[in-house]
Structure 1
Amino acid sequence: MPKLTYFDFPASRGEECRLALHIAGVAFEDERLKGDDWPARKEQTPYGALPTLEVEGRGVLAQSNAILVYIGREHGLHPRDNWLAARHEELMQAVEELRHTVGPVLRIQDPAEKLKAREELAGGFLKRWGRSVERRLQELSAGPFVAGDAIHVADLKLYLAARWFSSGVVDHVPRDVFAEFPRLVGLEQAVAAHPKVVAWRNR
């Protein structure tokens, strides 16, 4: 049984990997670290970061995109065609760039500075990012998923990114910041309504 290790919350890189394993029908050990557990475990990971996926007899795999692509290739959740696979991985990397840009803004403590930075994020970077992703989604399929009717690991990555903002947890960023991008919004809704995603969230 593979072991997926991530922090104990249902979001970001770890949750997309959990969802991929669940959708693939893979029984796995869902190791969830508390904050106090992390310092002692950090140096044991390949890059000092989570998630990691440990597969018996094969070792430990790190980096969420690598884990997602591995699961996708093993279980039919990633394109077999190399060009299409690269297009999906491009979108997955775009999500990582989103997280890299947003992260520092979320760490700002001064109230006035935080408000200003988050308003600029909402009206600037997030709009540009959403517009770019929307164009790429339109080029790839008519939806609802990246590949059309079948869910893939790239969909899970985009879903967690879009839900990050639509859930309202990032204050001073409107929940509907991506509302003008119907393909992205539709993808988020389609993943949220997928029976296995519903089952995972209701378990």
Structure 2
Amino acid sequence: MGNNASFKLYYFGFRFRGEVIRLVFTAAGKEFEDVRIDPSQWPQLKNQAPFGTLPYLEVTSGSQKLVLTQSTSIARYLAKKFKLAGRNDEEAAIVDMYADQVSDVLAEFAKTARESDANKKKEIEQKIENEIMPKNLKLFEARIAESRSGYLVPSGLTWADLYLFNLLEMLGEKRVMVLEAFPNLKGLDQKIRNNPRMAAYLAKRPITPF
């Protein structure tokens, strides 16, 4: 697709899996149409989605149209296009590896949304808080320390950092307190928040629970 391509992202109004795509556009300084679908509208629109799921992205360039789904596939495509995927194949592999790990953790959060039994829901939440997040935050902390750039790879900001930032936001009000034990993760979080493009986006972004 040409450099004059236009982008239209379809997702629900909350952050979760679609937010990394919004963050990639923002970090790259690229315009896109952010179509936020109300859950009540979804049954009528579901047949329009390639796999019957959200998010999906329409890329239009002249008479050409590309439609992509799966959040990490979309984010990776855009990151490669906008030079946010690592400087070489080895960095790109590390970026993908840590992004996949973020996806695994987000899948645990998704379990809480699907669970209707209050006791089971609480069990899952406690496991995330006491086991899953501490273990993974240590992994991410060590990787940032090893890269010595303040990000997951030496060359600087990539889509995996933005994906990790989105995961950290899942901590909600506990985020600031939790990150005190992880100085490198805290630094990453602050670098992204203090980036002028990101700061402007975060200031106007709708407030959602997740």
Global fold match (TM > 0.5): yes
1:135 correspondence with 2:139: no
**Aligned counterpart, 1:5:** 10
Partner residue in 1 for 2:207 = none
Alignment of 1:154-173 (within 5 A): 154-165=160-171, 167-168=172-173
Q: So what's the TM-score if we normalise by structure 1? A: 0.85
8 Å Cα contact 2:24-2:78 kept in structure 1: yes
1:192 corresponding residue in structure 2:
193
List aligned pairs for 1:13-162, cutoff 5 A. 13-56=17-60, 57-139=64-146, 141-148=147-154, 150-162=156-168
Give the 3-state SS of the residue equivalent to 2:10 in structure 1: strand
* Aligned-partner Cα distance in 2 for 1:202–1:164: 17
Moved more, 28-37 or 116-125: 116-125
Count of paired positions: 195
* Identity level (%): 30
The whole-number CA distance in structure 1 between the counterparts of 2:129 and 2:180 is 12
Mapped to 2, the partners of 1:44 and 1:13 lie a distance apart of 19
Cα RMSD (Å): 2.1
Which structure has more RCO (C-alpha within 8 Å, separation ≥ 6)? 2
Gaps (5+ residues) in structure 1?
A: 169-173
Q: Which is further off, 190-199 or 36-45?
A: 36-45
Contact 2:59 2:66 (8 Å CA) reproduced: yes
For the Cα contact (< 8 Å) 1:126–1:177, is it kept in 2?
no
Which residue of the partner structure matches residue 171 of structure 1? Answer: none
Shift of 1:197: 0.5
C-alpha change, 1:113 and 1:52, in structure 2 (3 Å) is: closer
In the TM superposition, what whole-angstrom CA distance separates every residue of 1:142-192 from its partner, at most 9, and x where no partner exists?
232223573221111000000110x23xxxxx4434542222222122111
Contact conserved, 2:54 with 2:70, CA < 8 A, in 1? Answer: yes
Report SS of the residue matched to 1:2: strand
Structure 2 unmatched ranges of 5 or more: 1-5, 205-210
